[in-house]
Amino acid sequence: MATDLETRPGIDDSGVQLEAATLREMYWQMLRARRTDERAWVLHRQGKIAFHISGIGHEAIQVGAAFALRPGYDYALPYYRDLAFNLAWGYTPHDFMLALFGREGEPTSGARQMPSHWGTRSLNIISQSSPVATQVPQAAGVALAIKLRGEDRVAYTSLGEGSTSQGDFYEGMNWAGVHKLPLICVVENNIYAISVPVHLQMAVPNVADRAPMFGVEGVIVDGNDVLACYRVVKEAAERARSGGGATLIEAKTYRPTPHSSDDDDRTYRPREEVEQWKKRDPLARFQAYLLEAGILDEQAIADYEARAREEIDRAQAAAEAAPFPPPEAALGDVFAPVDETLRAEE
Ligand X SMILES: Cc1ncc(C[n+]2csc(CCOP(=O)(O)OP(=O)(O)O)c2C)c(N)n1
| String of contacts with Mg ion for each residue 278-317, x by CB under 5 A | ----------------------------------------
C-alpha 39/C-alpha 48 separation (Å) is: 11
Single residue of 5, 42, 194, 293 touching ligand X by CB under 6 A: 194
Pick one of ligand X, Mg ion, none as the site partner of residue 14 (Cβ within 5 to 8 A by kind).
none
Pick one of ligand X, Mg ion, none as the site partner of residue 194 (Cβ within 5 to 8 A by kind).
ligand X
C-alpha 343/C-alpha 47 separation (Å) is: 46
Determine whether 9 is exposed, middle or buried from the number of CB atoms within 10 Å of its CB (0-12, 13-18, 19+): exposed
Pick one of ligand X, Mg ion, none as the site partner of residue 156 (Cβ within 5 to 8 A by kind).
none
Residue positions counted in the chain: 346
Site for ligand X contains 137 (CB under 6 A): no
Touching Mg ion, residues 153-182 (CB under 5 A): 160-162
For the CB of residue 278, give the shortest distance to Mg ion in the complex, in Å: 17
Site for ligand X contains 116 (CB under 6 A): no
Instruction: Tell me, by CB under 5 A, how many residues bind Mg ion.
Output: 5
Q: Which is nearer to ligand X, 108 or 116 (CB)?
A: 116
203 in Cβ contact with 214 (< 8 Å):
no
Question: 298 Cβ partners below 8 Å, 6+ apart?
Answer: none
| String of contacts with ligand X for each residue 144-183, x by CB under 6 A | ---------------xxxxx--x-----------------
For the CB of residue 261, give the shortest distance to ligand X in the complex, in Å: 13
What one-character DSSP code corresponds to residue 76? E
The pairs formed by 43-46 with CB atoms below 8 angstroms and a separation of 24 or more are 43/100, 43/316, 44/261
66 in Cβ contact with 117 (< 8 Å):
no
Site for ligand X contains 115 (CB under 6 A): no
| String of contacts with ligand X for each residue 254-293, x by CB under 6 A | -----x----------------------------------
36 in Cβ contact with 313 (< 8 Å):
no
Determine whether 119 is exposed, middle or buried from the number of CB atoms within 10 Å of its CB (0-12, 13-18, 19+): middle
Q: Phi and psi of 193, rounded to 5°?
A: -115, 95
Q: Which is nearer to ligand X, 22 or 163 (CB)?
A: 163
Q: Interface residues with ligand X (CB under 6 A)?
A: 81, 130-132, 159-163, 166, 188, 190, 192-194, 259
